[in-house]
Amino acid sequence: MESLADRAYLVTGGGTGIGAATALHLAALGASVTVIGRREEPLKKIADEVRRQGGDALAHTADVRDPAAVEAAVDAAMDRFGRIDGLVNNAAGNFVTPAEKLSPNGWRAVVDIVLNGTWNCTSAVARRMIETNRPGSIVSVIATYAWTGHPGTVHSAAAKAGVVAMTRTLAVEWARYDIRLNCVAPGPTETEGAGSALWAEQEDRDRVLASVPLRRFAGAAEVGDLIGLLLSDRAAYITGTTLTADGGQSLGAQIYGPPLETNGASPSPR
């Protein structure tokens, strides 16, 4: 595993779930991390955990929907670590609702966090990279329904698709600054946020599991590991792409052969 010593990264939504796992993974590789989110408590918990493990972390509260708050968070990270090598756009909001019942404000809340929030953070960080003449890597966490679509999550699917288009556009536009942009598309991942927003009932969990050929949820740590890979120099020639890690979910269920229920896989995340 490559060392990321001396590097400094920002992770939005870094206090919980995939973001927290990513922050801890980056810190374990020697990087400094700034974790950003609305609630102070989970951010402080992760920053304390990083410090307990001998790393350095900054917890900064900001709503990614607010460009001024994002600017302040990026300035605080620059002041503290003197450089920014990468950003993980991980903050998101989501809930399942029939599209015809979605209110204008419900649409706005999710699209603002996922699409506008990603732009606010991406543009603020890239400007610092360009000003300081440093290469960088930006990874956005999306979902496979950005291209398959998914009934019940029209706001999130539309916003994540926008993030894919933003990533591809900027990968070309900012290649001259050696700034790489990629996406990671995890399948259903065992986190508290997704658990309560998307599969609160056992029946929903069973339905989600039945849609995944590998028959298990992803673990937040294994997604964090893939994000770390795209941030690192091992991925120095990868830009404008999406790395899918969904246990085969977006390929669809099989029709022929033995029933998938008997494929023997363990349902626990790795």
Ligand X SMILES: NC(=O)C1=CN([C@@H]2O[C@H](COP(=O)(O)OP(=O)(O)OC[C@H]3O[C@@H](n4cnc5c(N)ncnc54)[C@H](OP(=O)(O)O)[C@@H]3O)[C@@H](O)[C@H]2O)C=CC1
User: What residues does 218 pair with on adjacent strands?
Assistant: 189
DSSP conformational letter for 177 = G
Which tokens go with 41?
A: 């408590």
Distance CA 138, CA 116 (A): 15
- Quick count: other Cβ atoms within 10 Å of Cβ 166? 20
The residue from 95, 119, 147, 177 that contacts ligand 8Z2 (CB under 6 A) is 95
Cα-based angle 154, 155, 160 (whole degrees, multiple of 5): 95
**Is residue 93 involved in binding ligand 8Z2 (CB under 6 A)?**
yes
Check if the beta carbon of residue 184 is closer than 8 Å to that of residue 89. Answer: no
Spell out, one character per residue from 4 to 33, where the chain touches ligand X: x when CB under 6 A holds, - when not: --------xx-xxxxx--------------
* Residue 256: active-site member: no
Distance CA 190, CA 195 (A): 7
Length of the chain: 270
Distance CA 109, CA 113 (A): 6
**Is residue 97 involved in binding ligand 8Z2 (CB under 6 A)?**
yes
The residue from 26, 73, 77, 110 that contacts ligand 8Z2 (CB under 6 A) is 110
Spell out, one character per residue from 168 to 197, where the chain touches ligand 8Z2: x when CB under 6 A holds, - when not: --------------------x----xx--x
**Is residue 170 involved in binding ligand X (CB under 6 A)?**
no
Per CB under 6 A, residues contacting ligand 8Z2 are 92-97, 103, 105-106, 109-110, 143, 150, 156, 188, 193-194, 197-199, 204, 208
Per CB under 6 A, residues contacting ligand X are 12-13, 15-19, 37-39, 42, 63-65, 90-94, 113, 117, 141, 143, 186, 188-189, 191-194
